Amino acid sequence: MNALASVKAVNEIDWADKNYLVVDDFVGVRQLLREALRSLGAKNIDQASSGGEAMGLLTRIRYDVVLCDYNLGDGKNGQQVLEEARVRNLVNPSTVWLMVSAEKSVESVMGAAEHQPDAYLIKPITEGVLLTRLNRVWHKKQIFRLIDQAYAEKDYLRAARLCDAAIEGHKAHELDLLRMKARLMEKSGEPVKAREVYERVLEQREYQWARAGIAKIRMANGEFEQARQAFQSVIAENRYYIDAYDQLALTYQNLGKLDEACAILERAAKLSPNSVPRQRNLGNVALKVGNVQLAEQAFRKCMLIGEYSIMKTPDAYLGLARVCGQKNDAKEALRLLLQVQREFAADYPDIALRSKITEGLVYHESGDYRRARKAGDELEALLDATESRPDIPTCLELATLLFAVGVKDAPVELLCYVIRNNHDNPLLLDEVQKIFDKARLGDEGLEFIRASKKEATDLMNQGVLLWKTGKLKDAVEWMREARKKLPNNQRILFNAAQILVSHMHQHGYDAALSGEAYEVLHHVDRLLPGQQRFAQLMEQLAQLQPVPEGEPTSGTIAEVA
């Protein structure tokens, strides 16, 4: 019976001609896995004994199957190898990645971690288990192939329709498909539909990811108290559902309860300590509640695990510099700021600005007002030298600091930039007004806000008028100019894309216009992901493509990836 089943499975999928990579630091286990793979008929099997060696091989060769141990001794661990391989596109979407460990790991509990392997295997690994799991992952990938492709192209609505179509014939994967669909609905700005999907799952079984999904939607709705209760009951049901801890901390932050947020992140970091983002969040929250010791611990741990991780960011270094400042060790803070600029210059173009901001904060908080003012002047000079501006939270932080150290023009300019690009966001306008108030510029601020809002509104209305009156060519041109003036205004970006789509609806497909529309939409999605208009416009654009599905859209995949 079993022999028959195995033969059938092997015949179905040809495992013989695939390329395999086995990663384990123990030579006996590598040999054993190689033997097991050979018994499936495999011929091309490479081996690596460390994360570094694995990365070297992955850079040169495209593997179909990777069997990777989680614990690899010193250096990168298995998860870090996986993350780097995915981020650097060293593996294909079809590559099967199996993570091997001696015991069931906390990370294997299906959370929402960004880079999950396709399956986790527990030692000892035997041929039967290996074959069963390989076949299963392979079939799942077949079912998800087109869905994943649409997802990579960010055509979320098409991907969701494909999920619906697949559920019929694949009962065993129904829950995977529903989970994907719920996620797609969230990404398309359709929380009500996402919630319906989660509820459909819960009618079958009490799956904690569905409960957590609903809680996340409630949080996004501003129902923080209900979200808090829901996340807490998820944790009570399964204390290893780590994602719920991170979300609960976020809920507490939204409720203004920073101490509770800090405590819950501390618990999560104990259960699953090797996450760069979690340690970074813990450090930042600890800094906010004034727990300098905990902040220092978290930032140092973050740097330590970041050493071998592609997920490494400058935040921990900047945070630790703030910690040093609060401990009155400005010298150590400056040393860290020099280091962060050296290490991150290549990937973070705004790192000079960000470390200068931190320098200003360090001096300001330690009471060295003369040096703080000097840092403020240098920041003003940095801003003068370039057109580009950092993200909105950094702008607000920077403006606050500049006002505090006595610089006037640069922060006003920054805040006007923020308003022009977010003229229809009342919460943000309030926040900006408060910064003006605090700088004792309340009345002037009111006027700045009014003028900046009008500037943005006028630009947009003129474009809409041209569009509505059928002057599509002029409208396209006008919106191009508007985008130059206000590169990060979401309303203007969405309207620009909408007008490009209308143009193609009326005058036919045009590769250049289509490319322009995609560029605009990807930009707005980076600014604020998960908006309904984004999903709708992406779908309309995809439907405008003249060629049938398959090859032609690969250009977009490459761009997105």
Partner 1 sequence: MDDTPEAPELSLFLASTAHDMKNSISVLSGTLERLLVDASPQTESAYPQMAHMLYQTKRLNDNLMQLLALYKQVGTPAYPFDVQPLELGQLVDQVVALERVLLKSRGLKLELDYDPDLVWHVDEDLIVGVLSHAINNAIHYTCDTVRLAIRVTDDNWLELRVEDNGPGYPPSLLKAGAIATRDTAGGMNFLTNSAGLGLYFSSEVARMHRHRERRGLLRLENGGHFGGGCFILNLP
Q: How far is the CB of 248 from partner 1 (least distance, A)?
A: 14
Q: How far is the CB of 267 from partner 1 (least distance, A)?
A: 7
Assess 527 for contact with partner 1 (CB under 8 A): no
Grouping H, G, I as helix, E, B as strand and the rest as coil, residue 363 is helix
* Amino acid in position 6: S
User: In DSSP terms, which residues pair with 20 in a beta bridge?
Assistant: 45, 65
As a whole number of angstroms, the distance between CA 132 and CA 101 comes to: 17
Pick the stretch among 89-97, 169-177, 279-287, 322-330 that binds partner 1 (CB under 8 A). Answer: 169-177
Residues 425-444: x where in contact with partner 1 by CB under 8 A, - otherwise, as a string: --------------------
3-state secondary structure 437-464: HHCCCHHHHHHHHHHHHHHHHHHHHHHH
Pick the stretch among 204-212, 276-284, 452-460, 507-515 that binds partner 1 (CB under 8 A). Answer: 204-212
Compare residues 109 and 459 and give the one whose CB is closer to partner 1: 109
Q: How far is the CB of 241 from partner 1 (least distance, A)?
A: 9
Compare residues 9 and 404 and give the one whose CB is closer to partner 1: 9
> Phi/psi at 486 (nearest 5 deg)?
-125, 80
Residues 3-42: x where in contact with partner 1 by CB under 8 A, - otherwise, as a string: --xx--x----------------x-xx-xx--xx------
The residue among 228, 223, 169, 165 whose CA lies nearest residue 191 is: 223
Assess 123 for contact with partner 1 (CB under 8 A): yes
Residues 335-374 that bind partner 1 (CB under 8 A): none
Assess 193 for contact with partner 1 (CB under 8 A): no
Compare residues 174 and 378 and give the one whose CB is closer to partner 1: 174
DSSP at 154: T
Assess 233 for contact with partner 1 (CB under 8 A): no
Assess 71 for contact with partner 1 (CB under 8 A): yes
Residues 471-490 that bind partner 1 (CB under 8 A): none
What's the angle, vertex CA 378, arms to CA 375 and CA 382, rounded to 5? 135
Assess 203 for contact with partner 1 (CB under 8 A): no
As a whole number of angstroms, the distance between CA 260 and CA 252 comes to: 6
Place of tokens 């060769």: 61
Pick the stretch among 118-126, 309-317, 366-374, 516-524 that binds partner 1 (CB under 8 A). Answer: 118-126
End-to-end Cα spacing for the chain: 44
Assess 167 for contact with partner 1 (CB under 8 A): no
Pick the stretch among 168-176, 244-252, 375-383, 494-502 that binds partner 1 (CB under 8 A). Answer: 168-176
Assess 512 for contact with partner 1 (CB under 8 A): no
The residue among 249, 292, 189, 200 whose CA lies nearest residue 534 is: 189
Assess 116 for contact with partner 1 (CB under 8 A): no
Residues 246-285: x where in contact with partner 1 by CB under 8 A, - otherwise, as a string: ---------------------x--x---------------
Using a 10 angstrom Cβ sphere, with 0-12 exposed, 13-18 middle and 19 or more buried, the burial of residue 360 is buried
DSSP at 22: E
Instruction: Answer yes or no: are the C-beta atoms of 118 and 67 closer than 8 Å.
Output: no
Q: How far is the CB of 193 from partner 1 (least distance, A)?
A: 22
Q: How far is the CB of 405 from partner 1 (least distance, A)?
A: 43
User: In DSSP terms, which residues pair with 65 in a beta bridge?
Assistant: 20, 96
3-state secondary structure 283-347: HHHHHHCCCHHHHHHHHHHHHHHHCCCCCCCCHHHHHHHHHHHHCCCHHHHHHHHHHHHHHHCCC
Please give the residue ranges that form the binding site for partner 1 (CB under 8 A).
Answer: 1-2, 5-6, 9, 26, 28-29, 31-32, 35-36, 71, 101-106, 108-110, 122-129, 131-132, 136, 171-172, 174-175, 205-207, 238, 240, 267, 270
